[in-house]
């Protein structure tokens, strides 16, 4: 490859990461300042034809605060201390206004849960993460801890070591499990479209999505697209279709990046969790 | 092809032998039998397992132990209940579990400990007795705590071995427990944990997992058998045929036991069509229904 082609390829790379992963690089100097990818790209093919994307990954700006104003934990602290109204671009890319398209009753419910979260007086006002319940799909892709991708013949496996959460995604097109079975992690069936892993997730339990009380019901159907845009970047996009809670399907997007140096330790959250009373304001 | 068929047949026979209770394969023949009438020793067939691209045996699959070790790793009679109290003529079910009847009783088991009784130090033996007496409030399984190692392997629920050429993990249905087996970049345990810190290596066809860094909070079974934070576990996983793993564990814990001791059992592959792990997040049973909020059902 001559120099001119290299420059063009680099330019296309930047353009791609800008168009497909708008959140990546925020506050981190942007794509242009990142070192050149060390891993081979396009990815090598595994024995069953999957692109090899194994390794440790994490959301670029992780956190459970909010999807529509995804401020970091530090910013949340600043906001509480200073009273300053810090805004970050919504992760919701559809609808275009960046808001969750709740039905009126559900919008009122979310507002109440946000207020309850600030002033908890009952156990159900405490977010599921603090109760040590497993965060399900798609919330696990929005949080801080890194996860590991392992690919075995016929499946892609995601493991959040710290939360001892895992999801095995079969690629063989097998049918979904019985509809009465509800799982926090859902029932995932996947296939590869080039370097994009497309996952169809059903059998979800109704769950909280954020600290501020966003939620969906057990009728939610989630379609995920994980696009590996280069050796070190992945764009996670999930479309939530839940006619019980929302007026229309909606989609959010979060950039993920390789974090090869992350260490993953057991968190044993439940084993050390205090009685919820310690958080309640009574 | 013909030769392969024969090999498969031998392997199946060995697997069947392992399955029907000949756990210590390669044990010396009984000395009481005169040498002249002793059948020619069956050589352990060198089973040639399917392999991953890196040449190592492929352990991928969903596995489960079929034994009563989670009740009591030692050989034991059936017992009337998991929690007992002293009755006028012997032990009877504790009041709290009487209503469960036979469902709450303990099935008998051959035991998975090799070589007889566990070599407890005297003080540790007293602690096990106390664990049995206080079982209802003490067994970490009742609280749905992470089960530890090797208990996670032989709890009566499925677990999956996830093995790529880069990584081996084990994920368990119960409590969503999991283990990372570090095959490269091995380090000492950075901190104590429930599931320990596991480094793995291959010795021929056998996966050997060396685990340390345990806390002293998990147990081996529902019979109060326990360990300290000095626990060191070495496990050996060997495929004896396509669907059976010969599983041997060496337990070393000088604070609790006078010498190392072994467990041996067979792990069976789940063959059901489209079998997969579900969730057994038992810790959430008390409060999972209040999320996403208590009366969502009314909204439908």
Q: Which residues of A touch B178 (CB under 8 A)?
A: 159, 161, 164, 166
pLDDT on residue B155: 98
Contacts of B149 in chain A (CB under 8 A): none
Of B284, B288, B300, the CB nearest to A244: B300
Regarding an ipTM greater than 0.90, the answer is no
Which of A45, A125, A271, A279 should we substitute to test contact with B (largest number of B Cβ atoms within 10 Å)?
A271
Q: Taking CB atoms and an 8 Å cutoff, what residues of chain A touch B216?
A: none
pLDDT score of A15 more than 60: no
Tell me which DSSP letter residue A215 carries.
E
- pLDDT category of residue A281 using cuts at 50, 70 and 90: confident
d(CA A229, CA A214): 29
Is B244 contained in some domain? yes
- Kindly state whether residues B222 and B101 are assigned to the same domain: no
Lowest mean pLDDT among A204-213, B35-44, B287-296: B35-44
Residues of B in Cβ contact (< 8 Å) with A175: 274
Residues of A in contact with B53 (CB under 8 A): 46-47
Its sign, for the CA torsion A30, A31, A34, A39, is positive
pLDDT band for position A215 (50/70/90)?
very high
Interface of B with A (CB under 8 A): 52-53, 60, 143-146, 160, 162-164, 166-167, 169, 171, 175-178, 180, 190-191, 193-195, 217, 274, 276-279, 281, 283-284, 287-288, 290-294, 296, 299-300
Nearest to B180 among A132, A168, A264 (CB): A264
Q: Which positions in chain A touch B146 (Cβ < 8 Å)?
A: 164, 266, 268, 271
Mean pLDDT of B203-216: 97
Residue B247's contacts (CB-CB under 8 Å, 6 or more residues apart) are B65, B153, B235, B236, B237, B264, B265, B266, B267
- In this predicted structure, which of A24-33, B64-73, B112-121, B254-263 has the lowest mean pLDDT? A24-33
Asked if the structure places residue B41 within a domain, the reply is: no
Measure CB to CB from residue A54 to each of B146, B166, B284 and give the nearest one. Answer: B166
Q: What does pTM read for this prediction?
A: 0.84
For the stretch B127-184, pLDDT in tens is 999 999 999 999 999 999 999 999 999 999 999 999 998 889 999 999 999 999 999 9
In a domain, B242, yes or no: yes
Better-predicted residue by pLDDT, A61 or B12: A61
Mean pLDDT of the region B208-230: 98
Q: Are residues B100 and B219 both part of a single domain?
A: no
The verdict on B120 and B223 lying in the same domain is yes
Q: Are B85 and B147 contained in the same domain?
A: no
CATH of the domain at B214: 2.40.128.20
pLDDT for the residue numbered B43: 54
Model confidence at A196, pLDDT cuts 50, 70, 90, reads very high
State pLDDT tens for residues B36-84: 455 555 555 579 999 999 999 999 999 999 999 999 999 999 999 999 9
Q: Flag whether B214 is in a domain.
A: yes
Looking at every residue in chain A, the average pLDDT score rounds to 86
B123 part of a folded domain: yes
- Interchain proximity A159–B279, CB inside 8 Å: no
What residue of B is the nearest CA neighbor of A153? B164
pLDDT of residue B37: 56
Q: Residue B86 above 50 pLDDT? A: yes
Q: Containing domain of residue B221, as a range? A: 61-75+110-284
* Residue B30 forms part of a structural domain: no
Residues of B in contact with A263 (CB under 8 A): 190
Assess if residue B199 is contained within a domain: yes
B contacts of A268 (beta carbons < 8 Å): 145-146, 193-194
DSSP state letters, chain B: -HHHHHHHHHHHHHHHHHHTT--STTPPPPTTS-TTTSPPPPPPP-----B-TTSSB---EEEEE-SSTTT-SS-B--BS-SSEEEETTEEEE-GGGGGGGGGGSB--B--SBTTSS--B-HHHHHHHHHHHHTHHHH-TTTTT----TTHHHHSSS-EEEEE-SS-EEEEESBTT-EEEEESSS----SS-BSS-EEEEEEETTEEEEEEE-B-S--BSSTT--B--TT-EEEEEEEEEETTEEEEEEEEE-TTTBSS-EEEEEEEEE--STT-----B-GGGTTTGGGSS-TTHHHH-
User: How many contacts, defined by CB atoms under 8 Å, are there between A and B?
Assistant: 123
Distance (Å) from the alpha carbon of B188 to chain A's nearest alpha carbon:
13
Pick from B194, B277, B281: which is nearest to A266 by CB?
B194
B167, closest residue in chain A (CA to CA): A150
Which residues of chain B have a CB within 8 Å of the CB of A56? none
B11 pLDDT above the threshold of 50: no
Instruction: Report the mean per-residue pLDDT for chain B.
Output: 87
Same domain, B166 and B271: yes
Tally of structural domains, chain B: 2
Does the residue B295 lie in any domain? no
- Is the pLDDT at B25 greater than 90? The verdict is no
- Identify the closest residue of chain B to A113 by CA–CA distance: B293
Lowest mean pLDDT among A31-35, A96-100, A208-212, B249-253: A31-35
- Whether B229 and B86 map to the same domain: the answer is no
Together in a domain, B152 and B86: no
A69: three-class secondary structure by DSSP: coil
CB A25 within 8 A of CB A59: no
- pLDDT score recorded for residue B185: 85
How distant is the Cα of B173 from the closest Cα of chain A, in angstroms?
10
What percentage of chain A has pLDDT greater than the value 70?
Answer: 86
What's the confidence (pLDDT) of residue B22?
A: 40
């Amino acid at each position: 490859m001559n120099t001119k082609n290299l420059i063009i390829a680099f330019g296309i790379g930047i353009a791609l990461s800008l168009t497909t992963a708008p959140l990546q690089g925020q506050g981190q100097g942007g794509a242009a300042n990142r070192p050149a990818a060390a891993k081979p790209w396009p990815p090598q093919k595994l024995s069953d034809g999957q692109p090899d994307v194994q390794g440790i990954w994490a959301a670029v700006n992780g956190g459970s605060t909010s999807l529509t104003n995804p401020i970091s934990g530090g910013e949340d602290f600043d906001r509480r201390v200073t009273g300053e109204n810090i805004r970050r671009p919504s992760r919701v890319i559809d609808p275009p206004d960046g808001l969750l398209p709740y039905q009126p009753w559900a919008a009122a419910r979310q507002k109440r849960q946000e207020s309850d979260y600030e002033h908890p007086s009952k156990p159900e006002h405490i977010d599921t993460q603090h109760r040590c319940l497993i965060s399900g799909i798609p919330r696990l892709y929005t949080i801080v801890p890194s996860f590991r991708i392992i690919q075995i013949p016929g499946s892609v496996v995601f493991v959040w070591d710290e939360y001892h959460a895992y999801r095995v995604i079969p690629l063989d097109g097998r049918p979904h499990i019985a509809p009465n079975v509800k799982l926090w992690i859902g029932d995932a069936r996947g296939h590869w479209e080039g370097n994009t892993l497309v996952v169809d997730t059903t059998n979800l339990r109704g769950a909280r999505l954020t600290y501020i009380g966003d939620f969906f019901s057990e009728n939610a159907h989630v379609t995920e697209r994980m696009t590996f845009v280069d050796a070190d970047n992945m764009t996670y996009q999930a479309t939530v279709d839940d006619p019980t809670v929302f007026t229309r399907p909606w989609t959010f997007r979060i950039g993920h990046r390789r974090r090869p140096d992350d260490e993953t330790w057991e968190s044993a959250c439940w084993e050390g969790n205090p009685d919820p009373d310690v958080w309640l304001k009574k | 092809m013909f030769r392969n068929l024969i090999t498969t047949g031998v392997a199946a026979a060995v697997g069947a032998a392992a399955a029907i209770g000949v756990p210590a394969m390669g044990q010396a023949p009984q000395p009481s039998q005169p040498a002249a009438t002793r059948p020619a020793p069956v050589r352990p067939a060198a089973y040639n397992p399917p392999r991953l691209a890196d040449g190592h045996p492929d352990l991928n699959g969903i596995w489960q132990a079929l034994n009563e070790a989670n009740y009591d790793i030692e050989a034991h009679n059936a017992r009337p209940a998991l929690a007992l109290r002293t009755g006028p003529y012997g032990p009877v079910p504790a009041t709290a579990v009487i209503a469960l009847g036979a469902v709450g009783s303990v099935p008998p088991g051959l035991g998975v400990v090799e070589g007889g009784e566990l070599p407890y130090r005297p003080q540790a033996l007293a602690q096990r007795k106390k664990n049995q007496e206080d079982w209802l409030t003490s067994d970490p399984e009742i609280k749905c705590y992470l089960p530890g190692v090797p208990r996670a392997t032989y709890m009566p629920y499925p677990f999956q071995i996830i093995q790529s050429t880069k990584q081996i993990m084990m994920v368990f249905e119960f409590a969503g427990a999991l283990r990372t087996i570090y095959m490269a970049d091995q380090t000492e345990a950075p901190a104590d944990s429930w599931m320990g810190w596991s480094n793995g290596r291959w010795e021929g066809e056998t996966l050997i997992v060396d685990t340390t860094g345990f806390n002293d909070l998990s147990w081996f079974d529902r019979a109060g058998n326990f360990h300290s934070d000095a626990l060191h576990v070495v496990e050996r996983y060997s495929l004896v045929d396509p669907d059976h793993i010969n599983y041997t564990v060496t337990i070393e814990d000088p604070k609790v036991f006078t010498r190392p001791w072994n467990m041996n059992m067979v792990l069976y592959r789940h063959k059901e069509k489209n079998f997969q792990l579900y969730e057994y997040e038992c810790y959430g049973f008390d409060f999972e229904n209040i999320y996403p909020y208590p009366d969502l059902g009314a909204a439908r």
